[in-house]
Structure 1
Amino acid sequence: MTTIADPVHEPRTLAAAGFILVYAMVIGFTDNFVRVIAEDGGLWQFHATRMVMAVALLAVAAPFLGLDLRPRRPGAVAFRSALHGTAMMIYFGCLAFLPVATVAAGLFTAPIFTLLISRLAFGQRIGPFRILAVAIGFLGVLMVLKPGQGGAFGPATFLPVAAGALYALGNIATKTWCAGERAEVMLAGFFIALGTFGILGMGVLAFWQPAAPDGQEGFVLRGMAWPTGRFLFWTFVQAAGSLIGVGMMIRAYQVADAGRVAILEYVILPASAFWTWALWGETLGPLAVAGILLIFAAGLIIALRGRPPGPR
């Protein structure tokens, strides 16, 4: 029997590809300037400041775009936001001392962890192709992260992977507990969670007062400081870029099949590597590039094997 073609399927996929491309280029660009922010401020102050800016932008845009920021299940949204917020705290902390493409590769292990958690915690069956995808993706992670640590494994090596695991838990919470929530609600919850972590972190550092090194090395240990103009400017760019980028990603999932969009989303890896090269002249080694390709292949297998069969 032949497959019935959907005349609107291809245009929707092309539109989703356009949205994802904008998302990847915007996020890849803004995340590269976290190293600049790290020279003037701290991780915790950055997230607290960005939360204020992002929520203010959302509040201003809400009446014009018809957004409703009231959650239907506040507890579920808060738990999901805490998981994704913790993952992104680790992600942004790593950006101060690792290339964006390397950290993004660790975060993009989330589909692999989603698969493993679904099997171990919920008993969902996974076939041989998905088991192969897990093995390929794990090998790719080792290839990408090992060069970033000079060939030596340490706690910092696996921090981006830990972020991927927490992001996977947040994705599962999104599907199981937040299925009926609006995208703008989860986006606002995400920024509020990060900002809350930032405020708590600044409070702890105010009492602890550790000696923070100058520059990027003191990003995680630096507490509240008088913000420079450069810090405020690039934090605002981060807030606005995140809202635009994530909005484009959400729109892509609205217009096309989720399995296809999940594959397209991996374009952020080469986009991040491109901006790192264009802005700072830094390039990834051949081993890291091969690892990114393996992670992409793993995500491709997981997405394709997870799609329901098409109409016949």
Structure 2
Amino acid sequence: MDGSIARPRPLLALFVRLLAAFALATMAMLVKLAGERGAHLVELIFWRQLITMILLGAGLAITGRIALLRTKRLGAHGRRAASGLFGMIFTYGAVLLLPLAEATTLGFTAPIFAVLIAIALFGQRIGPWRWGAVGIGFAGVLVVMQPFGTAHEGVTLAGVAVGLVAPFMVALISFQLQDLNTTENPWSIVFWFAALTTPVAALALPFVMASHDPLTWALILGMGVVGGGAQMLLTTSLRFGSAAVILLMDYTSLLWASVYGYYVFDRAAPASLWLGAPLIIAAGVIIAWRERRLAKGLASASRAGQE
């Protein structure tokens, strides 16, 4: 069987996405620590992508599987790379501008943005269930961020704005990854993303590069390795399962972000986060449930039409 063909395996997809959530939370913690020690956003992106490209390329070469990087869809990889680089800027930016738990919680709005993208780009008709979920989700954002009240420590309007663009890009990229997974293998998707974005980040590197102590370099190296692993896990999860369902596993990253926030950054998550996060999570669950119901309905209708 051709290794590039995606095969639906829902349970495996959920487990892989669970590991990806842990890896992403760990990477965010390392990004924040490195940023607090003077590493620039562009530096972090450059080293993350360069390390991923080198490790993945070398690993495939050593194991004699370099042929997996062949592709006839370089244009699609280029579009995914452009979106991914833009998304990384906002994802890392949110982590640097906001407390870890708040930045993570805002990331949970990705399924909500996926609904809005489906309307805008694919002309899907959205019923009351998903519109209700969108409303509930953004109500949760208001509860967490308290824009009309007294903001809690470390939360700024700029940080919230950056933190909302990041999940929008995650949702958009999920559609691109599902398309690429129909013909490409995960190794190829991750490698070409790193290979196409590293030179772009390198162009800005001379303007922001700074000297660092050994600990900061260790944090940057760890961030690159964990980030590359997270990217591989994310892409693999979308290979085996529907984005509407497996995105639910991302919610477990709030647990890890809260643990890291408390033990690494000495900051407990505020009460407003624990009130608003369930609303955002509930919105994602409703969207996933409705997507599954609609998918089953379409499948039943298709079978009936063939009988």
TM normalised by structure 1 equals 0.79
1:33 aligns with 2:30: yes
Aligned residue type for 2:39: G
| DSSP 3-state at the match of 1:280 | coil
1:202 aligns with 2:217: no
Mark the CA change 1:257 to 1:122 in structure 2 (over 3 Å): closer, same or farther: closer
Deviation at 1:194, TM superposition (A): 4.8
1:20 aligns with 2:7: no
Mark the CA change 1:178 to 1:122 in structure 2 (over 3 Å): closer, same or farther: same
1:54 aligns with 2:52: yes
Match in the other structure for 1:187 = 190
CA contact (8 A) 1:273 1:283 kept: yes
Query: Any residues of structure 2 matched to 1:66-81 within 5 Å, and which?
Result: 66=65, 68-81=68-81
Match in the other structure for 1:209 = none
**1: CA distance, partners of 2:173 / 2:24:** 20
1:93 aligns with 2:93: yes
- Alpha-carbon RMSD across the aligned residues, in angstroms, is 2.9
Deviations 1:183-214 (A, max 9, x none): 222222333455345323335xx3xxxxxxxx
| DSSP 3-state at the match of 1:126 | coil
Mark the CA change 1:305 to 1:65 in structure 2 (over 3 Å): closer, same or farther: farther
Deviation at 1:16, TM superposition (A): 4.4
Structure 1: state its 5+ residue gaps: 1-8, 207-222
Deviation at 1:162, TM superposition (A): 1.2
Deviation at 1:114, TM superposition (A): 1.8
Aligned residue type for 2:28: D
Mark the CA change 1:256 to 1:46 in structure 2 (over 3 Å): closer, same or farther: closer
Mark the CA change 1:40 to 1:141 in structure 2 (over 3 Å): closer, same or farther: same
Deviations 1:95-142 (A, max 9, x none): 223122211222332221121122133221111110011111111122
Mark the CA change 1:160 to 1:258 in structure 2 (over 3 Å): closer, same or farther: closer
**1: CA distance, partners of 2:156 / 2:32:** 23
Aligned residue type for 2:296: P
1:159 aligns with 2:146: no
Mark the CA change 1:284 to 1:241 in structure 2 (over 3 Å): closer, same or farther: same
Match in the other structure for 1:239 = 224
Deviation at 1:256, TM superposition (A): 5.2
Which of 45, 48, 54 in structure 1 is aligned with 2:43?
45
Match in the other structure for 2:304 = none
**2: CA distance, partners of 1:242 / 1:160:** 18
1:266 aligns with 2:273: no
Mark the CA change 1:12 to 1:158 in structure 2 (over 3 Å): closer, same or farther: closer
CA contact (8 A) 1:81 1:170 kept: no
Mark the CA change 1:233 to 1:161 in structure 2 (over 3 Å): closer, same or farther: same
**2: CA distance, partners of 1:177 / 1:246:** 14
Runs of 4+ in structure 1 over 6 Å off: none
**1: CA distance, partners of 2:64 / 2:268:** 40
Comparing 302-311 and 147-156, the one that deviates more: 147-156
**2: CA distance, partners of 1:196 / 1:295:** 37
Mark the CA change 1:251 to 1:198 in structure 2 (over 3 Å): closer, same or farther: closer
**2: CA distance, partners of 1:190 / 1:101:** 27
- Percent identity reads 24
| DSSP 3-state at the match of 1:96 | helix
Deviation at 1:177, TM superposition (A): 6.4
Comparing 189-198 and 30-39, the one that deviates more: 189-198
